[in-house]
Amino acid sequence: MSSKSLLDQFLGDDKGGFARGAATGGIAGLILGGKGGRKMVKNTAKIAGVAVVGGLAYKAWQDWQAKKQAEGSPQPSITTGERHTSGTASVPAAGGGQPVFLPEPEEAQEALSRKLIRAMLAAAKADGHITPDERKRINAQLAEMELDAKDRDFVFAELDKPLDVDAVAKSADTPEEAVELYTASLIALDETGPAEKGYLSMLAARLELDPDLVAQLHVEVGHSVDRAPVQI
């Protein structure tokens, strides 16, 4: 299965997804269902997974930039640092270019989808562990889906890795990817618990995201799930 298709299953877009009241409606909902994950609203959940994440990130970026411009602030940069320098520039070019939150080449979308999946699986471990009972439940449900052994092995290999927020952050090759990795993690978690809040705060810092943009991402994701945005 392609990474894009696997991400669709994570977000419940695929017809075989876990739409039975799990957190996001997909595999991520199964994994995160007992950990306070969120359920996407219907009109969002029907869109391909990579486009859902990219669309939410782009909308938040647009609103954040508009607020900055209304305040008379200089043209803002997505990140506060200079670590994410490969690929698209962090702000629109003078000629009107826009940040690319959904790359056109298929191979680029595949690579991005795999990064987003890893970010969501890392978020699943924000409270420090996957219990044996949760693992059994995940394994049983994955067996019912159209996932081959390679995909199942990938999911469990990621879940078995120690939580490493730096690895998630370092996978962002562009400022846009930094925003999307945070967006995917935010979709996966309801950040009301201290462990979840701490993880998201650390991830935002490692990704060097502008704090006002982070706040806008919380608002945008809150509008697209079945809960109101949580104050940060």
Using alpha carbons, list the distances in angstroms from residue 84 to 32, 77, 209. 29, 11, 10
Structural domain contains residue 207: yes
Structural domain contains residue 232: no
- Token digits of residue 209: 């995201």
Structural domain contains residue 138: yes
pLDDT (0 to 100) of residue 37:
47
Structural domain contains residue 185: yes
pLDDT (0 to 100) of residue 11:
76
Q: DSSP H helical segments within the chain, as ranges?
A: 3-10, 27-32, 42-45, 49-70, 106-124, 132-144, 149-160, 165-170, 175-188, 194-206, 211-223
Indicate the number of domains in the chain.
Answer: 1
Structural domain contains residue 231: no
Residue-number span of the structural domain to which 69 is assigned? 3-89+99-223
- Strand partners for 209: 79
Structural domain contains residue 228: no
Task: For tokens 């939580």, name the residue.
Answer: 163
- Distance between CA atoms of 64 and 68, rounded to whole angstroms? 6
pLDDT (0 to 100) of residue 80:
57
- Distance between CA atoms of 124 and 28, rounded to whole angstroms? 8
CB 151 within 8 A of CB 27: no
Structural domain contains residue 229: no
In order along its 232 residues, the chain shows pLDDT tens digits of 788 888 887 776 544 333 232 334 455 555 655 444 455 544 444 456 788 889 899 999 999 999 988 887 766 566 555 544 443 333 333 233 456 788 878 889 899 999 999 998 898 888 777 778 877 877 777 777 667 888 888 888 988 899 999 999 999 999 999 999 999 999 888 666 888 899 999 999 999 999 999 999 999 988 776 544 444 4
Structural domain contains residue 153: yes
